[in-house]
Structure 1
Amino acid sequence: MSDRLSQLQEAVDQLMEQFIATYFYIDRHHDLKTFSPKDTIAPSKADQPPEVDTLPPDVFQAGQLELARDLITREQQIEYLISSLPGLDNSEQDQLQSIKELEEELNVAEKQRQEAVKEKDEVLVKLDQTLRSIRRY
């Protein structure tokens, strides 16, 4: 599972894709209307596909509603991810203190690792000595 920041970036990317898909849905399936009596709708040529594939109003509106709900759901997911990011409820001092504590834990773990490496080397030396003594007999 990826970290929260990566999840947030992916969610924002998906939201942008949903915005684009919604725009293209509306652009492709809207009803052709004129704004004034002087406006005319140009007829589409027979050899070209129509620019607009008009849907019945109820189908178009249902599609818009579904797309709007999808956008709202994605936006809520983004808000949740933002609220779960570390540091939003902590002051700078709290964050610095947390970093110091983590550094101390890291130092302790590094000392333990060094001791384990030293112990491993000692065991290898003893094993080597034992193997050499066995070869002599």
Structure 2
Amino acid sequence: MADRLTQLQTCLDQLVEQFNATVNYINTSSEPSLLDEDPTSVSNIAASAPLPANQTQQGSTLGSNRQTVSPSTQAEAESNFENTINELSTDIILKSRQISMLIDSLPGIGVSPESQLKIIDDLSKELQSVEQEQVKKIQEKDKLLKWCESLIVEVATGISETRH
């Protein structure tokens, strides 16, 4: 299993993807709305202006895109849009809670810097003692290995002497 920081990074990446997907869905599925109260304001006019590359296309297709939509179909589309937005919002909230839980589970949260330094110092001392013990065990292993080698040589010598 991945460590907590990796899990946190993965969750943050997923949250960014969810935000992006939600904004994209809203951008493509919702009706345009005014940016401020005045419909004749410069910002509203600029926001509703066609892009330069799309001006010729929009001029020719603007009349053909206008279709009459029945009220029941429009209500159904709005209901579907609201349900999808609620679902996307719930997903974002759940992911945010998951991130909060991961952050709360990180070591050192709620611990003073002095306490953390003491823990680091204790762990450093423990590491030194373990390293010293490791050196002793390696020396013991080397002694045993030499002893085994000498036994093997004695056995091999004894076998070779009995065959001559």
Q: For this structure pair, what is the TM-score category when the shorter chain's length is used for normalisation?
A: 0.7 to 0.9
Instruction: Give the TM-score normalised by the residue count of structure 1.
Output: 0.82
CA distance in 2, matches of 1:114, 1:40: 76
- Number of the residue aligned with 1:88: 109
**Structure 1 residues 89 and 32, CA gap change in structure 2 (3 angstroms):** closer
Quote how far apart the aligned CAs of 1:129 are. 0.8
**Structure 1 residues 75 and 131, CA gap change in structure 2 (3 angstroms):** same
Q: More deviation in 29-38 or 59-68? A: 29-38
Q: State yes or no: 1:13 paired with 2:34.
A: no
Out of 72, 88, 102, which is 2:123 matched to? 102
Q: Any runs of at least 4 consecutive aligned residues in structure 1 with deviations exceeding 2 A, and if so which?
A: 31-46
SS in structure 2 of the partner of residue 121 of structure 1: helix
CA RMSD of aligned residues (A): 2.8
Asked which structure has the greater RCO (Cα within 8 Å, sep 6+), the reply is: 2
CA distance in 2, matches of 1:105, 1:31: 64
1:67-86 paired onto structure 2 within 5 Å = 67-86=88-107
Q: Deviations over 1:16-41 (max 9, x none)?
A: 10000001111111135678499899
Gaps of 5+ in 2: 51-57, 63-73, 159-164
Q: Deviations over 1:27-62 (max 9, x none)?
A: 11113567849989957849xxxxxxx970000000
CA distance in 2, matches of 1:23, 1:132: 77
**Structure 1 residues 80 and 17, CA gap change in structure 2 (3 angstroms):** same
CA distance in 2, matches of 1:78, 1:60: 27
Structure in which a larger fraction of residues adopt helix: 2
Gaps of 5+ in 1: 47-53
1:1-137 paired onto structure 2 within 5 Å = 1-31=1-31, 36=39, 45=61, 56-137=77-158
Quote how far apart the aligned CAs of 1:122 are. 0.5
Q: Which has the larger radius of gyration?
A: 2
Instruction: Give the TM-score normalised by the residue count of structure 2.
Output: 0.69
CA distance in 1, matches of 2:152, 2:132: 30
